[in-house]
Structure 1
Amino acid sequence: MDAGDLLLGPRGRRLCQEFQQLAGASRPTLVDDRAAFQAVAEACAWAMYWQPPHDADVNLRSGPGLAGIRAAAEALASSPAMSWWSSPVDAGDQHLVVFDAAESAQEPQLTGLREAVDTLDAFHADSQPFEDSAGRALDWRTISGAWWSAPMANPGAHTARSFGQPPLPVGLVWVEDAFGWSTATSWQVRPASEVRVLELRGPQDWVEMVRRYPLEVTATAKRGDWWRTTGRDGRWAMPDWPAVADDWDAVHLTVAGYLTTAGRALPVDGDTATVLAGWPPDATFWLADVLEAVGGPARWRWDGDRWSPA
């Protein structure tokens, strides 16, 4: 990932702006890894894929706004501290986070994941069609619904590694459009056996997955949601998650993959495009019952500034 890669997408550009502000200089040269970590959190917090981009994101696309964050992009891309942003899943350091569960000590639900994934095709393809309950046609521009393309199933499990000392699960901090939670519980988990993990390292990996496992979702709420957030209208596709689960036990999105891919309208084939939405950086979504809890529960509380052990 070089500086140009970081400036390709809305989340990477927002990261650079947030880091520049946290660094306290218009041309930062030295990268503080904690400031960079917090800048990723801010870039995530402003990710909303069902509405037009924020003015700040629009201003960063070109002109003085884009030129003003180039130094930050160069500093981040060249820093050795950021080298793990392109690394594959760390199977030995995975944490599952449940928000608003500080008083809950029961084990996380790690079974039934594949069965839940098998329901996702019907959910996404049928979600919010362009008609009301009486069958009357509705303008697709007015429809909003299941805007995400991540494999969010119920039950479901997505995990990420920890950061810093003492270790903090990044899933507590790197959250898109957080709901203001003040309590959470985490468990350390690991695969119980050898697993097949598909790595998403950038836009091409996401596009190739959609091409290999396509599910068309043009006639759903995603058309309106993704048009609002990207400005593009046309055919849309996302991964057919049950088909992905036939070949893979999990899919991991690297931090670099998130920053260069999320929120962009990416061409797939012909007039079809896709959007990576609702997938936090470094998160691994598990598509099979291959996890076991090995630590926890650890309880956390938000004190208004940071997450601390409760």
Structure 2
Amino acid sequence: MPLDARTLLSGPRGRRLCLAVALHDPQQSIPAAASLGYLLVYAAHHLEAARGQGGTFFGWGIPDPLPEPSAEEVADAFDCIPLTSIGIVDALDACAASVDSARYWQEPDGSDELLSDEHLDSSLLRIAEHIVTSPSTEWWGSPMEPQQWAVKFQDPCFQVPEPPAAAETLRLWSGLVVENEQAAVRERPTDPTANYSGDWWSRPPFGLTATTRALPELGPVGLWLIEDRSDEEPADTHPVTYEGAPRVFEIVAAESWAELCRRYPLEVTATRRHDWYRATGRSGKWMMPDWSRVARDFDAVHLSLAAYLSAAGVAIPLDDDFASVIAGWNPDETYWFTDVVTHPVSGASWMREEQTARWKQR
């Protein structure tokens, strides 16, 4: 499903992508990018400070008083950014910056709040149109690529015991999510502004195999696009095989997610109420897909990069009472409800370059 510019701007991750493209200046040779970055730092700081958050500035050369750029000034700075061709690596870098800044357990940071200001709409639209018409982004709305790759990071902190079979993982998850919801109903306040946090993700259960496509010479997308990234390098990549033609539910837009929730409803109001209120500002009932039931009809579920950018972190309406949030799910990731086979490949280890933070095969 092709991604259009206005749809891209409907989600906080899509707007943050536009910012990353605008600020892209690896050689530090674009004055307009430096000016935009300068204004953004102070504008975002003041938005966070207004709600009692954010840090302080200190050090030599910090202006006193701090500048307070308006949204209109930031929009003018966006309009001065020259639009140049976007290479596939540059596009991945920009996506990585947006993905890494995702937060579903707290309020949007100052940059995300600023980018939602209507005064920036036309300026962001110019950049969004430039992004979606680039040949480097054509694959963003495509369905699951038949050849899938799993990524295993070598850092000891990321080593976990071998999970049980997919069916057992889903059974255990189903029992736990219901148990947690019942406990939250008893123990947590119904006031969404209360200082409580807990389960905030809505992706399929941890322990299921998660895969992505690979891009020529760049390796699996799962190396590049990780929410709340840590220093996971190095990483081994493995091709994945499965029997027959899998039944894959494709999440191509917010409505795809809404359809999934309506067909396989699982109420999670009590466990997600406080986190999702902070993330979206919506107060009400919440739902997510019951993955144990989805698995009866599908072998896998795939979240396209286009759907992620336009819909992740958004309160997606389901009916008059319920909404849902795509949270904790990396873009282009496919989760498997059946047992698949990963195959070791000689020389399939990857590292990130220290200077560029880009992945290279060792």
Aligned to 1:7: 9
Aligned to 1:88: 143
1:120 deviates by: 2.3
TM-score (norm 1): 0.89
Aligned to 2:198: 145
Aligned to 2:305: 255
Distance 1:66 1:27, change over 3 A: farther
The yes-or-no answer on 1:208 pairing with 2:259 is yes
* CA–CA separation in structure 2 for the residues paired with 1:250 and 1:282: 12
Paired residues of 2:11 and 2:314 also in contact (CA < 8 A):
yes
* CA–CA separation in structure 2 for the residues paired with 1:179 and 1:33: 23
Aligned to 1:125: 178
Aligned to 2:73: none
Paired residues of 1:230 and 1:264 also in contact (CA < 8 A):
yes
TM-score (norm 2): 0.77
Aligned to 1:161: 213
Instruction: Render the CA deviation track for 1:176-235: whole Å, top value 9, x for unaligned.
Output: 001222322221112232211110100000000000000000111x11110111011110
Paired residues of 2:163 and 2:169 also in contact (CA < 8 A):
no
1:294 deviates by: 3.6
Aligned to 1:20: 22
1:136 deviates by: 5.8
Letter in 2 for 1:178: R
Distance 1:188 1:71, change over 3 A: same
Question: Aligned pairs, how many?
Answer: 301
* CA–CA separation in structure 1 for the residues paired with 2:105 and 2:320: 24
Paired residues of 1:101 and 1:185 also in contact (CA < 8 A):
no
Aligned to 1:36: 91
* CA–CA separation in structure 1 for the residues paired with 2:171 and 2:103: 26
* CA–CA separation in structure 2 for the residues paired with 1:205 and 1:137: 31
Q: Give the alignment partner of residue 166 of structure 2, picking from 113, 130, 137.
A: 113
Aligned to 2:234: 183
1:163 deviates by: 1.8
Paired residues of 1:31 and 1:79 also in contact (CA < 8 A):
yes
The yes-or-no answer on 1:232 pairing with 2:282 is yes
* CA–CA separation in structure 2 for the residues paired with 1:292 and 1:10: 35
Letter in 2 for 1:284: T
Paired residues of 1:59 and 1:66 also in contact (CA < 8 A):
no
1:150 deviates by: 0.3
1:99 deviates by: 2.0
Distance 1:269 1:30, change over 3 A: same
1:143 deviates by: 1.8
Unaligned runs of 5+ in 2: 34-80
Q: Which has the larger radius of gyration?
A: 2
Q: Give the alignment partner of residue 74 of structure 1, picking from 129, 132, 135.
A: 129
Letter in 1 for 2:154: D
1:15 deviates by: 0.6
Letter in 1 for 2:102: A
* CA–CA separation in structure 1 for the residues paired with 2:320 and 2:223: 39
Paired residues of 2:285 and 2:321 also in contact (CA < 8 A):
yes
The yes-or-no answer on 1:272 pairing with 2:325 is no
Paired residues of 1:28 and 1:71 also in contact (CA < 8 A):
no
Report the more deviating stretch, 179-188 or 68-77: 179-188
Identity of aligned residues (%): 38
1:31 deviates by: 2.4
1:308 deviates by: 2.8
Point out the structure with the larger strand share: 1
* CA–CA separation in structure 1 for the residues paired with 2:91 and 2:305: 12
Letter in 1 for 2:227: E
